[in-house]
């Protein structure tokens, strides 16, 4: 059976992956309300298309933080690609490079930053970190990213404590296979050496201690701004209040995200939260992106029409990786790119950068008394 849509890839990935891998990738917090609503929320928005607009010449190209990209569809940071493919993030990076797509490498990758850079030397990459408990680890990672040519630092800010529940926690932290190690934490700094990560139990303990930092504040972001010239993007913002805090801390970008529904089950769907974040930082020179629930080119168009400069994909990239390796990653991106181009024309637009205000409206627009 052919694979023509992201839904086809999702079904095939579920059949291809073992039970543990699928449960880890498909996990959503508690009752999975945010997980499901992030997908379903797109159905609440309508496209007010304009006809007879001469859409014969269309261009999907745009820029993110000054970097040119051929279309506004990118790859979010997701952990442990080894669950989907033996070459893990190396394979993902090859697919991203072939598709000319921006990829954010997760700090919880099972391949090192060096390995990913070597696998796809021409790829455009940003590096993901958390506000680690040990600032030495943060600075070490940022310096490595600078050296290897990563173009931005993406800080996940929505995880002061882990959101993963018991059984799924064991899927990850109970793994003893050293191929599942996260190399970013195996570095030559005092806290990493003291953790004695020679066995996987100690490795996971150190990862957990560094990753989830309940003491983190916006001062951590201000400090990062002082130690690097790379742009700083905050991932995991869903409110105007936090967007304003981010602006005051001097960030360059905001990735509106609900962490795939893996943290707070009652978080809003990112597409619902997007417009208030966009409004909160309007005219402040901060780019806003979105991830969460994107499954079609129509979803991409709706996010762009509500103010996102680009959208980022999480699980769908892993589905492509599981089904066809690097070629599957590229195909996922190609499918969405082609769908977006079609929707752009049908809506009467020629570029993702000039979708007229009012093109995307909530369904309630059509139920108000006039």
16-44: per-residue pLDDT in tens?
A: 999 989 998 998 888 999 999 999 999 99
- Of 171 and 46, the structure prediction assigns the larger pLDDT to 46
DSSP category for residue 206: H
Is residue 129, in this structure, part of any structural domain at all? Answer: yes
Structure-token pair, residue 19 = 């039970």
pLDDT at 168: 66
pLDDT at 73: 98
Is residue 222, in this structure, part of any structural domain at all? Answer: yes
Residue whose entry in the numeric block shows the structure tokens 């880890």: 24
> pLDDT tens for residues 169-221?
666 666 777 878 999 999 999 999 999 998 898 999 999 999 999 999 999 99
pLDDT at 29: 87
Segments forming the whole domain that contains residue 172: 6-367
Average pLDDT over residues 75-92: 96
Average pLDDT, the chain: 95
Separation in Å, CA 301 to CA 7, 82, 152, 184, 287: 18, 31, 25, 35, 17
Is residue 81, in this structure, part of any structural domain at all? Answer: yes
Which H or E run includes 133? none
Is residue 354, in this structure, part of any structural domain at all? Answer: yes
pLDDT at 169: 64
Is residue 176, in this structure, part of any structural domain at all? Answer: yes
pLDDT at 291: 98
| Catalytic-labelled residue, pool 203, 259, 362, 367 | 259
**What is the DSSP code string of 28-90?**
-STT-HHHHHHHHGGGGEEE----S---SS----EEETTEEESSSEEE---S-GGGT-TTHHH
Q: Is the pTM higher than 0.85?
A: yes
Residue 260 belongs to domain with CATH number: 3.20.20.70
**What is the DSSP code string of 171-199?**
HHHT---GGG--GGGS-SSHHHHHTTTTS
DSSP category for residue 161: S
Is residue 1, in this structure, part of any structural domain at all? Answer: no
Is residue 97, in this structure, part of any structural domain at all? Answer: yes
**Cβ distance 52 to 347 under 8 Å?**
no
Is residue 179, in this structure, part of any structural domain at all? Answer: yes
Tell me if residue 312 falls in helix, strand or coil.
Answer: strand
How many structural domains are present in the chain? 1
- Of 259 and 167, the structure prediction assigns the larger pLDDT to 259
Please indicate whether residue 36 is annotated as part of the active site.
no
Select from 199, 201, 74, 204 the least CA-distant residue to 128. Answer: 74
């Amino acid at each position: 059976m052919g694979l023509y849509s992201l839904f086809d890839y999702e079904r095939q990935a579920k059949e291809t992956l073992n039970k543990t891998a699928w449960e880890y990738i498909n996990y959503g917090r508690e009752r999975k309300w945010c997980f499901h609503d992030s997908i379903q929320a797109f159905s609440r928005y309508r496209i007010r298309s304009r006809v007879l607009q001469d859409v014969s010449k269309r261009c999907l190209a745009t820029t993110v933080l000054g970097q040119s990209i051929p279309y506004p569809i990118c790859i979010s940071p997701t952990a442990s690609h080894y669950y989907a493919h033996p070459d893990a993030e190396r394979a993902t990076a090859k697919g991203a490079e072939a598709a000319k797509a921006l990829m954010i490498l997760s700090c919880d990758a099972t391949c090192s930053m060096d390995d990913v850079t070597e696998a796809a030397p021409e790829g455009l990459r940003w590096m993901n970190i958390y506000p680690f408990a040990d600032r030495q680890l943060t600075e070490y990672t940022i310096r490595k990213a600078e050296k290897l040519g990563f173009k931005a630092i993406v800080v996940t800010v929505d995880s002061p404590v882990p959101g993963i529940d018991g059984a799924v926690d064991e899927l990850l932290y109970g793994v003893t296979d050293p191929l599942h190690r996260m190399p970013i934490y195996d570095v030559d700094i005092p806290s990493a050496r003291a953790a004695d990560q020679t066995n996987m139990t100690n490795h996971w303990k150190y990862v957990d201690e560094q990753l989830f930092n309940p003491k983190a504040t916006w001062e951590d972001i201000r400090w990062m701004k002082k130690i690097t010239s790379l742009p700083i993007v905050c991932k995991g913002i869903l409110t105007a209040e936090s967007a304003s805090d981010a602006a005051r801390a001097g960030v360059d970008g905001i990735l509106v995200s609900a962490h795939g529904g893996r943290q707070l089950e009652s978080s809003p769907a990112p597409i619902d939260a997007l417009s208030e974040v966009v409004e909160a930082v309007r005219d402040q020179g901060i780019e806003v992106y979105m991830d969460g629930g994107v499954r079609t080119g129509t979803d991409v168009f709706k996010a762009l029409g509500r103010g996102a400069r680009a959208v980022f994909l999480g699980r769908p990239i892993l589905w492509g990786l599981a089904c066809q390796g690097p070629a599957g990653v590229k195909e996922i991106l190609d499918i969405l790119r082609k769908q977006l181009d079609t929707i752009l024309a049908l809506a009467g637009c020629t570029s993702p950068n000039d979708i007229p205000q009012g093109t995307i409206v909530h369904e309630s627009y059509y139920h108000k008394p006039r």
